[in-house]
A and B are shown apart, each in its own frame.
Chain A
Amino acid sequence: MEFNEIINPGNLVYKKTNLLTDKVLSYCPGCGHGTANRLVMEVIDEMKIQSETIGVASVGCSVLAYEFMDIDMVGAPHGRAPALATGIKRVYPDKFVFTYQGDGDLAAIGTSETIHACNRGENITIIFINNGIYGMTGGQMAPTSLEGMKTSTSPYGRDIESMGHPLKITELVSQLDGVYYVSRQAVHTPSAARKAKKAIRIAFENQKLKKGLSLVEIVSSCNSNWKLSPVKANEWMEENMFPFYPLGDIKVDGVAVKKVL
């Protein structure tokens, strides 16, 4: 078959989302950020809220998110995205405001901003990408790194006694009364991505209700810094990350989801 026959509008089943720019993504092949960026933009496109949305990019691998997302955005200092989002939402209560943060940003340096924005019940959406490691700086230990996980700053594996426990920040903030919706998802398979998109949609729709903060955690792989192939990284994620960070809704409509054993 000739190339021209393949690239034919009649054969088109999948294309770049309208609200992604033509800028080449800076994410590594195999990383979940690209898919997560896309899902957020698909939701904003489908809700037709591009002109009413203001995003907050954070520091980490997604620091250049505003180059990929065709919406008005501000680049926050490391960890401070929820404070910026608070400021924006307070002066524009009817706009859709979201942050896009990694685990180092949200769960280490920005813990205070995260907890207090959640506790105040800011009517914003937080998209939280958790890959258990600092990606952009080259694979250092994160608060979310698993026990025994080898990183450049825990080269012999995370030792709980000296380095502390991995932080389940999502479960932690789900306890706060200001938080209305919490869900943990993944984007490594088509079905996982579909579920993640539904959760992101709910997290944006919730802003209309003005009943508190919505947070979607996306457990993602960092094959480059985990030093695995993309496929092996996804397998490692399923075997090691998901048991500690189980997927599914944690809080819906302000009510904790009961775990069925």
Chain B
Amino acid sequence: MAELKLMKGNEAIAEAAIRAGADGYFGYPITPQSEILEYLMVEDAFKRTGMVVLQAESEIAAINMVFGAASTGKKILTSSSSPGVSLMQEGISYIAGAEVPCLIVNVVRGGPGLGSIQPSQADYFQSVKGGGHGDYRLIVLAPASVQEMCDFVPLGFDLAFKYRIPVLMLSDGLIGQMMEKVIMFDQIPRATQFDQSWSLTGKPANRQRNTVTSLDMDPYGMENHNRNLQAKYTKIEENEVRFEAIFCDDAEFIFVAYGASARICQKSTQLARDKGLKVGLFRPITLFPFPKKELLALAGKTKAFLSVEMSAGQMIEDIQIATKGKVNVEHFGRYGGVIHSPTEVLEAMENLIKNS
């Protein structure tokens, strides 16, 4: 039976991983997401479901343990925060190239470099534009509540296996650390059968050997592989866009924000409506695929968009590309680990309205 719990976002991810029937977690401690590994150890995930939990010697090792374990077709995840996810980029590129499904969680903190340990959304470019070397994409899910931290674990696994692609949950230190009520789904049993068409199980006599690799020494072969990858990304863009639109139907001005910023903008939108301002909120849930069509449709009937991000302005570029110059798009955001308040976001919107 589904259970109502009060949990931190990070704990919700860990509990959801156990319940989603994950076979393995490999990770390395880093603030602000260490609760994920701690929770899995305290809960003794192995005893509960047989899920393997291992603390790796580095994020580099962790992502490569994920690569190995996930190449067997099992459900594997890791989590980290910004500097750690930078270290993982080489592995993520290989996993994307080899088309291995897995789930990666980034609980983003301020950067660049060692940065700060407070919430940030400055890893947007890294997450949605590839991150490592080569032409590839990840499916990027942006949770805006503890409930979504929970729900996006099984969703992430489903999408990862549907498209044989690494899925990145792009969270942040705010959603990771805050406590909210969450309805936990029932335990899903761990899988016992694995896809023999590609995964490594040991070669039985009745099939060809399976090879999981991102290498092709023939450039034409590699170009072909890239074409197939691009076709897959196009299919994902056509089928997997997720978003939430609040008060957008009659809105003259729209906040565009994801994750923690969307939560803050939700309050700012309410405050604006209380003042009689026709303000709405558009929240992309998938950052790749980005809700381009939906934003373009809104662009025609809106005076301006305000992109609110805990960064110097990254998603704003995708909004501008999506809306093809049909609407004025401005940016507002605090960064480096500073969280904007609903009132300063509202103030930024009021300034935009005044100047439009």
Contact = CB atoms under 8 A, between A and B. Distances in A.
Interface of A: 49-54, 56-57, 63-64, 66-67, 69-77, 80, 83-88, 90-92, 95-96, 112-113, 116
A88 B203 contact: no
Contacts of A73: 200, 209, 211-212
B217 to A, nearest CB: 8
Nearest to B214: A75
Complex A-B, nearest 6 residue pairs according to Cβ-Cβ distance, in ascending order: A84-B68, A87-B68, A87-B69, A83-B64, A87-B65, A75-B213
Contact of A66 (B52, B90, B211): B211
A64 B64 CA distance: 19
Interface in B182-241: 200-205, 209-215, 217
A87 B204 contact: no
Given A83-B56, A88-B71, A90-B54, A72 B201 contact: yes
Contact of B26 (A70, A87, A96, A113): A87
A74 B213 contact: yes
A95 B202 contact: yes
A83 B62 CA distance: 7
B91 to A, nearest CB: 6
Interface of B: 23-24, 26, 52, 54, 56-58, 60-62, 64-72, 74, 76, 90-91, 94, 98, 200-205, 209-215, 217
Given A83-B68, A84-B67, A88-B72, A66 B213 contact: yes
Given A73-B212, A87-B26, A92-B72, A112 B52 contact: no
Given A77-B67, A112-B61, 10 more contacts: A54-B72, A54-B202, A64-B217, A66-B209, A67-B211, A77-B64, A84-B71, A85-B68, A88-B69, A92-B72
A48 B24 CA distance: 28
Contacts of A71: 202-203, 209
Contacts of A76: 64, 67-68, 94
A83 B94 contact: no
Contact of A88 (B68, B91, B215): B68
A74 B67 contact: yes
A117 to B, nearest CB: 8
Given A87-B76, A91-B72, A112 B60 contact: yes
A84 B64 contact: yes
Contacts of A51: 202-205
Contact of A72 (B26, B52, B209): B209
Nearest to B205: A51
Contact of B74 (A54, A77, A91): A91
A85 to B, nearest CB: 6
Contact of B61 (A49, A67, A80, A88): A80
Contact of A116 (B61, B74, B76, B209): B61
B72 A77 contact: no
